[in-house]
Amino acid sequence: MKPNWLRQRLSRDELAGKAEELLAAGFRLGLVAAHDDGDRLRVVYLFLAGHPDRRVELESLVPAADPALPSLAYLSFPVSRFEREMADLYGIRPIGHPRPRRLVRHAHWPEDWHPMRTDAGPAPPFHPTGRFPFVTVDGTGVYEIPVGPVHAGLIEPGHFRFSVVGETVLRLKARLWFVHRGLEKLFEGRAATGAADLAERVSGDTSAAHALAHSLAVEDALGVEVPDEAQRLRALLVELERLYNHAADLGALANDVGFGVANGAPAVRVDRTGPDNYWFGARPQIIFDRRGEGVDAMIENIRAAVARYPYPHEYRAWPGPNSNTFTAYIAREVPELGLDLPSNAVGKDFLPGGALFAAAPSGTGFQVSLFGLAGVLLAVDEGLELNVLGLNIGVDAAVPALKLPAIGRLGLDR
């Protein structure tokens, strides 16, 4: 074993004191793992520190017939999870744990079956019993959104329950551990050189990292020294995997908050959701309502205009093209709409293709615009609007009102 890697075997009474000592010395708890050695169970606590790289393993033995250890959950939140996992898979009871309920084994798992024990045997019949104690949030406007446990992509199963009011998340509860494939048991008995493919399948988004971890464990056990050139190649590979996952997660985060363009989705999506969704918490307002004869033809003209929109894959909040640029474009392409957009709809004055002149969105006048940054609009419906850096000020003489930046229309409603 390398000189900066130490292993100590402690009694149950000595364990907490030594753990406190290591944490106070700047170590962190990286892992707690159990092993079945037949007549006894061995629990290993791995503490890590860097600069220089140091590793300390604390071992404690418990009898297989009555396995129990004092909980260290008061020292570390991660250790509380590890202890609950060991309780499920090995039957090792964490004495004094603040929340010892099941973690890995869901309610339908048999009570006394611990799959990682050597004598566990085949899985007994599972029966659907009990329910997970989700907390229900009540109140005016509270809506509960369940997600999962099955997800698209590479992420593992997980059930998430959001309690929201509009875009405010009041509470989120995540429940994981829907898949226990018994991978540890599948590793047992395999040749050291014949398990890399299994390690790659531990988790789809960290295939290279798990394969490297397996290789490092084998090399450590056998005392194999790998050349620095190989280590650099390994570091490059896992760093590329990390960067890929971070980039993919950033795109997924953008998509989840409605900015799908950053995740490769088109900026224009037709018939994807309802027309009256909230926009960043803002209640939608009806600015145009047309019914009766001629509506079907108007809808077809709108669809054709949508197909011609020149920025289907681009979105820029300011000065455009954005959602208001899109709406203004449709209004100009389908003048029978007679659409008078709010003066504070930033982006409506961004003219496609860098054009300087265009009809007003209502079709009742004209406008001059320099890339949506400066311009003037004069029309019967809109009135007079001056645009400076996307902020409009103006006056509507036909239906008296002032138009102010950010506020919008102040006066009589059209």
Q: Say yes or no: 388 and 367 in one domain.
A: yes
Find the CATH number of the domain harbouring 55. Answer: 3.30.460.80
Q: Say yes or no: 4 and 113 in one domain.
A: yes
CA distance 149 to 160: 7
Q: Say yes or no: 127 and 101 in one domain.
A: yes
Q: Say yes or no: 235 and 162 in one domain.
A: no
Q: Quick one: pLDDT at residue 380?
A: 93
Q: Is the pLDDT of residue 29 over 50?
A: yes
Q: Say yes or no: 301 and 403 in one domain.
A: yes
Could you tell me if residue 287 is inside a domain? no
Say how many C-beta atoms besides its own lie within 10 A of residue 362's C-beta: 20
pLDDT digits (tens, 9 = 90+) for 98-153: 999 888 888 788 888 899 999 888 888 888 776 777 888 988 888 898 888 887 66
**DSSP per position, 188-248:** TT--GGG-HHHHTTS-GGGHHHHHHHHHHHHHHHHTPPPPHHHHHHHHHHHHHHHHHHHHH
First to last CA, the chain: 82
Q: Is the pLDDT of residue 1 over 60?
A: no
Could you tell me if residue 274 is inside a domain? no
Q: Quick one: pLDDT at residue 107?
A: 79
Provide the residue range defining the domain that includes 173.
Answer: 133-181
Give the mean pLDDT of 72-81. 92
Could you tell me if residue 275 is inside a domain? no
Q: Quick one: pLDDT at residue 204?
A: 81
Q: Quick one: pLDDT at residue 395?
A: 94
Q: Quick one: pLDDT at residue 279?
A: 64
Q: Say yes or no: 124 and 1 in one domain.
A: yes
**Contact criterion met (CB below 8 Å) for 20 and 45:** no
Q: Say yes or no: 159 and 213 in one domain.
A: no
**Contact criterion met (CB below 8 Å) for 187 and 198:** yes
Give the mean pLDDT of 374-381. 94
**DSSP per position, 363-405:** SSEEEEEETTTEEEEEETTTEEEEEETTEEEEEETTTTEEEET
The total number of structural domains that make up the chain = 4
| Helix H or strand E encompassing 41 | strand 40-49
Cis peptide before 149 (omega within 30 of 0): yes
Q: Say yes or no: 114 and 152 in one domain.
A: no
pLDDT band at 272 (very low <50, low <70, confident <90, very high): low
Could you tell me if residue 269 is inside a domain? no
CA distance 258 to 62: 52
Could you tell me if residue 407 is inside a domain? yes
Averaged confidence pLDDT in the chain: 89
Could you tell me if residue 17 is inside a domain? yes
Q: Say yes or no: 112 and 236 in one domain.
A: no
Q: Quick one: pLDDT at residue 238?
A: 96
Q: Say yes or no: 219 and 116 in one domain.
A: no
Give the mean pLDDT of 248-259. 82
Q: Quick one: pLDDT at residue 244?
A: 92
Give the mean pLDDT of 29-41. 93
Q: Say yes or no: 395 and 312 in one domain.
A: yes
Domain termination residue (choose one: 212, 238, 258): 258
pLDDT digits (tens, 9 = 90+) for 205-242: 899 999 999 999 999 888 899 999 999 999 999 999 99
Q: Quick one: pLDDT at residue 360?
A: 93
Could you tell me if residue 137 is inside a domain? yes
| pTM greater than 0.85 | no
Q: Say yes or no: 122 and 163 in one domain.
A: no
Q: Quick one: pLDDT at residue 256?
A: 75
pLDDT band at 154 (very low <50, low <70, confident <90, very high): low
CA distance 212 to 192: 13
Four-residue CA torsion sign, 118, 119, 123, 126 = negative
Q: Is the pLDDT of residue 49 over 50?
A: yes
Give the mean pLDDT of 391-406. 91
